[in-house]
Structure 1
Amino acid sequence: MTAYNQVGESPPSNLVQAKVAFQAPAAPRNLSATALADGSVKLAWTAPPGGAVNHWIHLRDVTSGATGFTRHPFPVSGQTTTLTELFNGHTYEFQGDRGQRRWRRPAERGRDCHGTARATGSRDRLTATPQSDGSIKLSWSAAERAKSYWVYRRDVTFGHEQFSRYHQPFGATTATLNDLHDGNVYEFKVAAVGDGGEGPAGAVVTATAKVTPPGAPTGLKAEAGSGTVKLTWTPPVGAQYVLGLPA
């Protein structure tokens, strides 16, 4: 170093050296992995003291036969992260590092994590409403992560012991079933389907298929002609034809 004033700068002082070295952080502890219902895996750990630094996550797909760990492309600044780009039903191993210090979940705590994406949530509040044309309309609450729904039915009147699944899934939370026998009692239940397969069915509801007779025609008028009478009326909702009877 040198000194200076109004006159000028002094000669340099003696030379000294110092080597800069950053101390590697301690390893984080208590790494855990929890498989979530949507097929992702949540990792959590306890950070070591020393201030905030980033963490790298390394994973290995055991099911696919991977022999080495692959580092996740983005570091994590907190103490939890959720990995979503995983294959359904595969088992993974996870490890991480902080700076140059790497930690691994101890084997005695179980380092494998098996995740399955399954549609969950409520098919509760399932309702079955008979329609006047003999069909039955089903309605239910949406299930989390569901992409479609299977409807199951059982004909109680015919003595069916097992539920049969409708021939096609439904993408919405309503379904109207038409191929029913008039006057028969049916039981229904609904199961949600997601990326991991079919979830459990919800509560069973009961309804009777019944074709309701239409109401009476209204506004009947008679217009006399040459040896004829012309009748006009307003047909009721649901009527297919009207019978005219003489008084």
Structure 2
Amino acid sequence: MVLLLSNLTTEQFTTPVLLSLQVAIIALLIVFVLATAAARFMARTEFRGKVIIETLLMLPLVLPPTVVGFLLIMIFGNNGFIGDLYETLFGGTIMFTWYAAVIASTVVAFPLMYQSAKAGFLNVDADIENAAKVDGANSLQTFIKVTLPLSTTALVTGALLSFARAIGEFGATLMVAGNIPGRTQTMPTAIYTALQSGNMTLAWAWVITIIVISFLMLMFIRVKANS
């Protein structure tokens, strides 16, 4: 890695890395809150059409990235409802900005966090939660002081998998955020550009970086699961 970086400028290498980390961290924060809330609701609530809703929540996991990107353009593009509203309110566009990359990463990472969180909540004995309520705790207190601590392993696993997925997102990001150096170019899109231009040193540097980050995430999950 050191040998590869010796032929690169710091800015060349770090700009996509820092942007990828920024996008992945923000996406993780959004995903953690939304997916945890959705998983908690789905784990303890039964209603007609629940299977359909859950299928929709998990759909980004199996859809091709180009399909996800297309749908995001239809929603957040200049002709989409949210995109048109954003342009009216702020006089700009969401497309081809770094926060478009956040949206794409959030969508593709959501199912991993949701699936993990729901599994964790389902493993919590409802009798324990009911006992806490009998002792005077309200629903929020029970969730924070009982359910979350008992689901820590599942939540951490989901968060790490979501982060790894977000930092490696390529297809949907390329469609909605583009590949603008210094503005929207994340590591995956930078690798694509470097490979196309024949700059194998840069490509290898970013590839190794993503492999190392992903390896550490997965290793931590394995250690956590076996501890």
TM interval, shorter chain, is under 0.3
Higher strand share: 1
Which structure has the greater CA radius of gyration? 1
- TM-score of the two chains, using structure 1 as the length reference: 0.19
Name the structure, 1 or 2, with higher relative contact order (CA <8 Å, separation 6+). Answer: 2
TM-score (norm 2): 0.20
| Higher share of residues assigned helix | 2
